[in-house]
Structure 1
């Protein structure tokens, strides 16, 4: 990854986690049937969308994330920096979630991508374990047929389950990489 222009950091707005969410998960755990599992997955998606909407708003309100004209990603340090006019303004620690390819119309999890440093996707193991335990195939399959909205969905689920500060999407030649911002700070002028 190199550098580029700012990208959209928006998410969805849907109803949030409620008692129904908890009951749905309990039902799924107790019955283990496909319908209950699907309902549990839909509850996770709903809770994830609400959480991600809030974190995306906070990133913009608190850190003006959509206002910066340029970003740089350093995979060696795990730092995403934002600048304007050649002056660094913010620095964020990140974790790679995965990527969406416009060319192949597929989602690829970061843990399935050999070009990503393992330390920068280690937290995705939580999602993969959850997927294996509850048979949420989208969380366990290395790659699968997808649309761009699936990238936002998987990033939202990761953001919610890992309780990170938000999502940032960066473009590449044939699609987008989805990142989680785990920490962010203002860069102090030298």
Structure 2
């Protein structure tokens, strides 16, 4: 289980732990059903879709960008204020911001913050729960990790 920082989540720590447990269950289901863990990925920021391919399936789903994590300096940049993310792809990140403001979690309301990769997963799990997403994914883009949630998955057999 990913540890949840009470310094970031305060009185909402137990709720975020439940969000993480839910996300882990969703991930296991996707992996068992269509092989999420063995899939290549591609994000199309113009179309707002996330595509996964493996030797069995081609999966396409709508996506939301929660934020990016810079592995070199440990900084997080929220999707709701990311220069590369259109507002319609940052809706779920904005829901976390609203949640943070409602619950007095000032550090989660800032555009950027210093955190761990585990914290980035916790942010993403929270966004997944708040937005009722079907799952989440973290994709590398050089030294940056892009954290995304995704909606209903459309599957088709892989081209043989």
User: Are the aligned partners of 2:77 and 2:112 in contact in 1 as well (CA < 8 Å)?
Assistant: yes
The residue that corresponds to 1:82 in the other structure is 52
Q: 2:99 matched to 1:109?
A: no
User: TM-score scaled by structure 2?
Assistant: 0.85
TM-score between the two structures when normalised by the length of structure 1 = 0.73
| Alpha-carbon distance in 2 for matches of 1:84, 1:92 | 15
Instruction: Provide the residue aligned with 1:3 in structure 2.
Output: none
- Give 1 or 2 for the bigger CA radius of gyration: 1
Quote how far apart the aligned CAs of 1:124 are: 2.3
Partner of 1:149: 118
Query: Which consecutive segments of 4 or more residues in structure 1 shift more than 6 A?
Result: none
Q: Deviations over 1:77-127 (max 9, x none)?
A: 111112247x97111211001011012211111012111111111232222
RMSD (Å), alpha carbons: 2.2
Unaligned runs of 5+ in 2: 4-8
Q: Any gaps of 5 or more consecutive residues in structure 1?
A: 1-11, 15-36
Relative to structure 1, the CA distance from residue 188 to residue 108 in structure 2 (aligned partners, 3 Å threshold; closer, same or farther) is same
Aligned residues: 154
Match of 1:162 among 131, 135, 138: 131
